[in-house]
Structure 1
Amino acid sequence: MISYNEVSEKSFQGFIIIFITQFISMIGSMIVSFAVIWYLAESTESSLILSIASIASIVPMIIVSPFSGVIADKFNKNLILIISDATQALATFVLIILFQLNVAELWHILVLLGIRGTCQGFQNPVSVSLTPLMVPEKKIKKINSINQIFNSLINIASPAIGAIAVSTFTIQQIYWLDVFTFIPTAVILFLIRIPSVTNHEKGDKISFKKEFGEGLSYIKESGLTSVFFMFATANFIVVPIFSLFPLLILGHHEGTVTNYSWVEVLFQVGMIGGSILLMSSKRKSTMKSVITSGMFLSVVLIGLALVPQGTWWLFYIACAILGIDLAFIDTQLMSVLQVTIPKELQGRVFASMFTIIKSLNPVGLIIWGIIGEFTPIVAIFIISPAISIIVYFILIKFTTMMHYGESYGNESIAEESSETPVVEAEADLLTDYQTELEAS
């Protein structure tokens, strides 16, 4: 079994190469996604179709996540990534042929979105687990920060590139990007082996119920239940209101599409800035800092709602601060989990996290969408984060969430937390659980 400190320089170099090719593939996919959404909006002019398209992408990911987590932990990770990438490329190629024959219909596009969502459901837990398997522990936070920077840059660039592509090429020509970007990714995955942490012998029968149960048991016994509940609550209460930003800008502040564009750009610039700050910081990521950043996010959202009408410079600053804070939350959370969760369980735990957190998104969107029909948009931007702050305080007071991961890999923190009997018991439980897994 690979320990947290036994990552070779060769594995790290391999990770960098995989990292680069995965981002090339992601750029192609995001440009294609932008083009597809625009094509659907332009050809149907239906908000219902766009909602169905989103559901077609998200729901398959949620459904397959429990199974994909077990598969990510127990099977060859190279093979999982290659098969899922190849399936997406093949489905895209079939759709290109249908367009070429002038027989492509709306349901063909929705099926493709469903296939892409399913494949991403298998890819996500594998992709997240690559970092602790192939990156030395001391570099994990920096790698996650770089990952966040790349994501932000892609989020800034892909709409612009997508707009140029839409005005220059047909939708079937744009689809070729998905096929072409698959090739370098597949070649690299054939050449560079991702380390395995499975204890199963070849020919052993995999029990999905048992394997999935191990992941759920770890979540329950390690104290992650309250952590996941916190972020599920945030996705239910706070995250949906981010989709209402256009209404706050256009309705309350009487802004234009230019103002909205600046908000999007400054938000991503803030994400990049926050990631750079984390890269340069030598401070260890902790759950305490994640939760503090989460509470600060709610405070900033309330402040954003209180910005005087038309005071754009202040609104822009608040959006940039939101981006910085979200980078702090995402990067630090991922770093804490990747360092603390046993590597042989990470696929299952991250898949469960995705299912628990993302499954509430559609419900939150519907609820806040209905409330928004009868409530001023400014009130929603105050009420939602205020509820979130109350939930944070309840979870902090009645759970050990703040101390998750403190006992792992940091003696000074463990020593400090030993004054709290509950945390000490949690640390013992984690150690016992990991020992039991290694012995099994």
Structure 2
Amino acid sequence: MQKTKRFGKDFILVIIGQIISLFGNAVLRFALPLYLFDQTGSPTLLGLVSAGSFLPMVVLSPVGGIVADRVNKRNIMVVLDFSAAALIALFALALGRMPLVPLLMAVLLLLYGIQGAYQPAVQASIPLLAAPEQLMPANAAVNMVSSLASLVGPVLGGVLYSWNGLRPILYVSCACFVFSAVMETFIRIPHASRGDGGSIWRVAQKDMARSLRYIFREKPVVGRIILLVCAFNLFMSSMLIIGLPVILRQTLAVDTLRYGLSQGALAAGGLAGGILAGVLGERLDIRRAHFLLLGCALGILPMGLSLALAPASAGYVVVAVCSFMLMVLSTLFSVQMMAFVQSQTPGELVGKVISCLLALSMCAQPIGQAMYGVLFEQCPAWLVVCGASGVSALVALASRAAFRSLR
């Protein structure tokens, strides 16, 4: 029997470009919210700025999907990486010369918008560069790359931030985006030009309607799962985005380096989950994916209890361990969902459907981030974490029937 070739040169170049680009992104995601929180000390302000900056990702993910199905995906990656580099260079010049909060808000808005348009191009390129039977390991590889970048990024970011503040991080991330863009120019992704005619807005409206019709009418169970994931993000993901900086920097009073290491634990869990997904492959059953969500929900309960009952040193260890396990489970879930959607979706709809899936699943997060900013300001951290665990567990249990109906 002839052995199937796993991945070609172009897929490997996409992976290498992702490592470099996502490393620059991970350093910024670590540093910018931390810098804002250190300068203001306000969980409410952190929640509001995070919520506002997240909106462009939700809005532009579907647009990115439409563009990804009609424009050469390599060109999208190159243009967006160069744009991110220019944005960070301008931010470095303006830092200290303009008011911090509106400046940081504008940069985060644009940065998340770029990320929202970027990811659909990457995800839509996977079925074109990997054989159908390799979709699971290909998605696992992409997730591992993201986790690897997120593992190294916060740790190095913590060192650089402790050493000389925000500016070295800006220079490193800018260089990463430029290097990634140059490397991506050598990628060849199959692309067939589509001449649908009409204005861009009419085409976008038509494509969006077709994608939503596919999700909610042709594959309605996928639509139900997206809504459940949306609810899970509202109560779980949003809590982690706002809660971890507050818990670690304010409640446990850890230094910048240990904060970076804790963020590295999150990414290490994602890396381990990606490796595990690649090893297990087809043995992962999408019909049992609700157990992974339930594990995520229950996995943060020890974190909340440790904040109420344990000393700060023990609480830090519990938070790091829970973060690791949480990311193992959530990465397994993400890989399963992405591979399932890619295998079930017609080729001409892959980019649009994935972008709609990402946007719809994330649309509750800005609301959740604003909500948790207020809750962490007004309530004990342990109570907020334990409450989020309980509600998220109920959402996970509610998703059982929808996952079991998948084939």
TM-score (norm 1): 0.75
Does residue 257 of structure 1 match 2:246?
Answer: no
**Whole-Å separation in 2 of the counterparts to 1:180 and 1:384:** 38
State the Cα distance separating 1:210 from its structure 2 match.
1.0
Instruction: For 1:8-407, list aligned pairs within 5 A.
Output: 12-43=8-39, 47=43, 50-51=46-47, 53-98=49-94, 103-106=97-100, 107-167=102-162, 171=166, 174-196=169-191, 200-201=194-195, 207-220=203-216, 221-222=218-219, 223-242=221-240, 243-244=242-243, 257=254, 264-302=263-301, 305=304, 309-310=309-310, 312=314, 318-370=322-374, 377-397=381-401, 400-404=402-406, 406=407
C-alpha change, 1:284 and 1:335, in structure 2 (3 Å) is farther
Segments of structure 2 that go 5 or more residues without pairing to the other structure are none
1:213 partner letter: A
Structure 1 residues 239, 182: CA separation in 2 closer, same or farther (over 3 Å shift)?
Answer: closer
Q: Offset at 1:131?
A: 1.7
> CA shift at 1:188, angstroms?
3.2
- Is the CA contact 1:228–1:353 (under 8 Å) kept in the aligned structure 2? yes
State which drifts further: 16-25 or 83-92: 83-92
Deviation of 1:356 after TM superposition, in Å, equals 1.7
Aligned residue identity for 1:120: Q
Deviation, 1:129, is 1.5
Q: Mark the runs of 5 or more structure 1 residues left unpaired by the alignment.
A: 1-7, 407-440
Confirm or deny: 8 A CA contact 2:297 2:393 kept in the other structure: yes
Task: Read off the aligned partner of 1:65 and give its amino acid letter.
Answer: S
**1:235, distance to aligned residue in structure 2 (A):** 0.7
Contact 1:248–1:377 (Cα < 8 Å) also in 2: yes
Encode CA deviations 1:226-251: one digit per residue, 9 max, x unaligned: 11011001011222333435777799
- CA apart distance, 1:45: 5.2
Distance 1:181 1:374 in 2: 39
1:427 aligned residue:
none
Secondary structure of 1:191's aligned partner:
coil
Quick check: 1:240–1:361 contact (8 Å CA) kept in 2? Answer: yes
Q: How many residues align?
A: 391
Structure 2 Cα separation of the partners of residues 294 and 245 of structure 1? 19
Q: Does the CA-based 8 Å contact 1:78-1:193 persist in structure 2? A: yes
For residues 92 and 45 of structure 1, the distance between their equivalents in structure 2, rounded to whole angstroms, comes to 24
What one-letter code is carried by the residue in structure 1 that aligns with 2:123? V
- The share of aligned pairs that are identical, in percent, is 21
> How has the CA–CA distance of structure 1 residues 26 and 302 changed in structure 2, closer, same or farther, with 3 Å as cutoff?
closer
Q: Matched residues in 2 for 1:108 and 1:249: separation? A: 25
Question: What is the CA distance between 1:163 and its match in structure 2?
Answer: 3.2
Q: Measured at CA, do residues 261 and 92 of structure 1 come closer, stay the same or move farther in structure 2, by a change above 3 Å?
A: closer
Normalising by structure 2, we get a TM-score of 0.80
Q: Deviations over 1:111-133 (max 9, x none)?
A: 33322222222112112212222
User: What SS is found at the alignment partner of 2:214?
Assistant: helix
